[in-house]
Chain A
Amino acid sequence: KQEVTQIPAALSVPEGENLVLNCSFTDSAIYNLQWFRQDPGKGLTSLLLIQSSQREQTSGRLNASLDKSSGRSTLYIAASQPGDSATYLCAGSLYSSASKIIFGSGTRLSIRP
């Protein structure tokens, strides 16, 4: 059974710091991977999608990378701001079932002003 682990479960840092969130899959045969943001009581917003032929995606202060050999992904947030406070979830699908997308439990991020 494919499982997705996100470390750390929670993180609190002062404003302005750069930070890295981690995600790992028990099965490294990842077809594609997405990072999402979720605010309390709300749905999820897609931040970055790394498709099957890609290894990295960037959007503004966010950069996501995927190491398919190990089944690990990182989300890098540069120059963090209080508005970045949210839960960040990674989700992926496997080559064996490319349409079934499964999620980690998320990292709850708090940026202190």
Chain B
Amino acid sequence: DTGVSQNPRHKITKRGQNVTFRCDPISEHNRLYWYRQTLGQGPEFLTYFQNEAQLEKSRLLSDRFSAERPKGSFSTLEIQRTEQGDSAMYLCASSFSGTQANEKLFFGSGTQLSVL
């Protein structure tokens, strides 16, 4: 069990550029979550996947944000035309949901995005 892996750890970009983050969940986990966290706040829910299906998406997520999880394995989160307000830590988490729901979340170390 190598845990949840996120890349890159840090990303600095200029306003207006597109960025993409990757998350590799724990291999047997069928659920994958994306959260955004700013300093002093708890993580804000963005979206989650059950296998390859994106089942819920927060209203916080504008049209500039898109997430995919092809084949139900790794996931990518893309932000188009970045704005300074997008600067935050982007966290990925995974869990296993079986016949008895057990939503114990395992988090990655996050990707810190800075938009200049």
A101-B44 Cα distance, complex, nearest whole Å: 9
- Main SS of the interface on chain A? strand
Is the beta-carbon distance between A32 and B103 smaller than 8 angstroms?
Answer: yes
Residues of A within 8 A of B44 (CB): 103
A101 with B105, Cβ < 8 A, contacts A43-B91, A43-B110, A44-B43 known: yes
Bound-state CA distance A48–B8 (Å) is 29
Whether B42 contacts A105 by the Cβ 8 Å rule is yes
Interface residues on B, range: 20 to 34
**Residue among B4, B43, B93, B106 with most chain A CB within 10 A:** B43
Interface centre among B40, B42, B101, B106 (most CB of A within 10 A): B42
A-B contact pairs, 12 of them (CB 8 A): A31-B101, A32-B101, A34-B103, A44-B43, A49-B102, A49-B103, A91-B105, A99-B31, A100-B45, A101-B45, A103-B42, A103-B43
Residue numbers of B with Cβ under 8 A of A are: 4, 31, 33, 35, 40-45, 48, 50, 55-56, 91, 93, 97, 100-110, 112
